[in-house]
Structure formats: C-alpha cells, structure tokens
Amino acid sequence: MVFPNTPAGTFPADKYVIYLGTINIYKGSNDTYYRPRLFNYFNSNKIYVYGPHVGWSKDHSFFMVYAKNSMRNDAFEIYINNKEAILHDWSDTPITSNPFIVDLFLVSHEPTSRFDVNGTYYIPEGTLGSFNIVVNSDGAYGGQIYVPINGQTIPPDGAPPPTTTPITGGGIGAPIPGIPVGEEPEPLMFQVDIIDYCPFNLNQAFSQTGVKVATTTITVVNGQQGESYNIKIRFTNPQNSPNFTLRPPNKTYGYDIPYKLQFGNKSNIVGGELYDWENLSFGGDNSRDIYVYEVNKSKADLAPAGEFVDTIQVEIFNTN
C-alpha cells in the first residue's frame, strides 16, 4: 500500500507494515523550520500486536514505529521512548518542502513468514499515547516552536494533550478492531511538490534565458513499476489573465511589470491553458524547472522602488 510520501519498495518485502497516519507541517512564506520532532512522548518503542504466529508458541510479536518524510528517500525508526523523537534528522538543514509530510507506520520485527495471511491481528491498547510536535525557527537549536495539532491549546511547558486520541474511532480507550493482513488497491494519485527559489534579482530576468524561480516535481502515488503516466498542468495568476505580471505585494491591480514564464523546455506559457506532461514514471525523477524571462525592462526601470511579486497557482489533471 502506498501513501502520500511513501512509494512502493520503501520497506523490505519480508516485513509487515501497518499505516498509522500522516503528519503535515505547513510553514508561512517567510518561515524557516529545522528539526521537526515528536516531543514529550515517553512511550514504549515496542508496540505489541496479537494474533496467530506460525512456527512458535507466542500469540504476539512487536512492531516498531517508522517514518518516511518528504525530504528523505529512506524510512527510519522513530524512538518514541525518548523525550524527543526526530522526524527528519538532527542537523541544521532547513525544512524546504511545504508542507513537510511525514507518513507513520508500524513495521514488524518478525518476518512475514511468522504471520498467517488468513489471520486477524489486534493491538490491545486503545491508543499510542499523546505528544506534541516541535520545530526550531533559528537553526537546529534556537527558537523552539510548538506546533498545534487540530487546534489544540498547548500548555506553556509544552506538555502533551491531557487526553489521547485512539487509533480508530469510538472514544478514548476504545478497543482496536482487528487489523487484517493484506492490502487493498489504492487509487492512482499525483502529488505536486514545488521548491521555490525566490526572491530573484530583476537584472537576471531581462534576457531570453531568464532565471530559475522554482522546480516542480510530480510523485506518482500507487503507480506500477515500468508504467508511464500522463497528466495536464495549468498555471493561473490572481488576475486570471493569460499574461503574467509582477506587482507590489497585496495589490492585485497595482503597477505591473510584464514577464514571460517557461516550464521545462516549453516557453511563453499562457495563463489558464492546459499543457501536457507525459511519461511520468512511478518512483522516477519527474521534475521540471520554471523560469521567469524577458521581464519588461522599460516598465521595470520606471517602477516605484520596492518589492514586486506574482502568485502562480499550479494545478494538475489526471488524464490516465
């Protein structure tokens, strides 16, 4: 089974994997985050799962919590018996994906041969505990920020919520239904990630070559190895105009500086039109760069001093 950030083949074929949920951390355009992590957890690293086990007398085995995020290719164990459980790494590398996506899973310690494919397995406790999410805004260790989850009010000491949320519905402490072994097919989906390289200097964008302002990457979710996929992509601006312009912030119809947009090797993109993006692969590098070029120098020279921006909405449409 494949989830928003986790392609098939992430986990070894000889392990059973149970999806827990997905964490999305959003940041503002001027925010920089470091070291996202679970905080004040203090649970056990071993989550016991009960049910039939082949070849031994035990009626249970344990699973560990693993994460796969939108900035790493590998899945890694989360040590939730610690006060802080890292969701990326311990370095001062800033989080660039927005949202920062973390898929959480239980991964079996025992191989799949220990499990009965016709069996049903369950977790006896009703929850996996409670925790907060913390990021740093000033390098790896400065400006600690507690991130509210579902509108919660965070105590001044960063203590976790007083009540826990069960893995499934039914209220606090509700019994957990059986977890059937096996997978159901999931629908084909496409995830869009855009790396923003703005701001840029106008002097770099007057030419026909222009300046790279972003990279768009498409992740094929629930696809098949060896298959190719096609989508259509559309770029629109706040004016719903076929032409693109830079304007002062928050002034949709203020002084404008026209420019041209290039997507991959397709130049002079027209706002609102659909463009083909073909031969996307599952697990492959489906990336194209976006350039701003031929900024109108005459209007730029006459423009009032200050910052000029444009907001472009990117939409994709499945044509498979």
Burial (CB count <10 Å: 0-12, 13-18, 19+), residue 250: exposed
| Residue 171 sits in the same domain as residue 310 | no
The dihedral of CA 36, 42, 45, 46: what is its sign?
A: negative
Q: Which of 183, 181, 161, 165 is nearest to 173 (CA)?
A: 165
- What's the rounded Cα separation, in Å, for the pair 182 and 297? 61
- Domain tally, the chain: 2
Looking at the structure, tell me whether residues 50 and 138 fall in a common domain: yes
Q: Establish if 151 belongs to a structural domain.
A: yes
Write b or e for each residue in 135-148: b if 16 or more Cβ atoms lie within 10 A of its Cβ, otherwise e: bbeeeeeeeeebbe
Tell whether 161 and 202 lie within a shared domain: no
CA distance 86 to 23: 13
Q: Is residue 25 part of a domain?
A: yes
Tens digits of pLDDT across the chain (320 residues): 456 678 888 899 899 888 877 888 887 777 888 888 887 655 677 888 888 888 877 788 889 989 999 998 899 998 877 778 888 887 788 888 888 888 888 899 999 888 888 788 877 655 556 677 888 888 767 777 777 665 666 666 666 665 555 544 444 444 544 444 444 446 788 888 888 888 888 888 999 999 999 999 999 988 877 889 999 999 999 889 999 999 988 777 778 999 999 999 999 999 999 999 999 998 888 999 999 999 999 999 998 888 888 989 999 998 87
Contacts 24+ apart (CB under 8 A), 54-60: 54/113, 54/114, 54/115, 54/116, 55/113, 55/114, 56/114
Q: Are residues 115 and 203 in the same domain?
A: no
Both tokens of residue 240?
Answer: 């719903």
Residues 136 and 33 grouped into a single domain: yes
Last residue within a domain, chosen from 180, 211, 229: 180
Nearest to 121 by CA among 137, 110, 130, 135: 110
Same domain for 32 and 167: yes
- For residue 3, the SS3 value is strand
Task: Flag whether 291 is in a domain.
Answer: yes
Give the burial class of 55: count Cβ atoms within 10 A of its Cβ; 0-12 exposed, 13-18 middle, 19 or more buried: exposed
* 26 and 172 fall within a common domain: yes
Domain with 44 in it:
15-180
Is there a domain that residue 10 lies in? no
Same domain membership, residue 201 and residue 163: no
Of 180, 211, 227, the one marking the end of a domain is 180
Domain assignment present for 7: no
Q: Which residues of 275-302 are buried (b: 16+ CB within 10 A; e: fewer)?
A: eebeebbbbeebebebbbbbbbeeebee
Domain assignment present for 274: yes
Task: Classify residue 131: in a domain, yes or no.
Answer: yes
Q: Are residues 39 and 122 in the same domain?
A: yes
Residue where a domain stops, chosen among 180, 213, 238: 180
Looking at the fold, whether 270 and 207 belong to one and the same domain comes out as: yes
Q: Is residue 6 part of a domain?
A: no
- Any idea what the CATH number is for the domain that residue 280 is in? 2.60.40
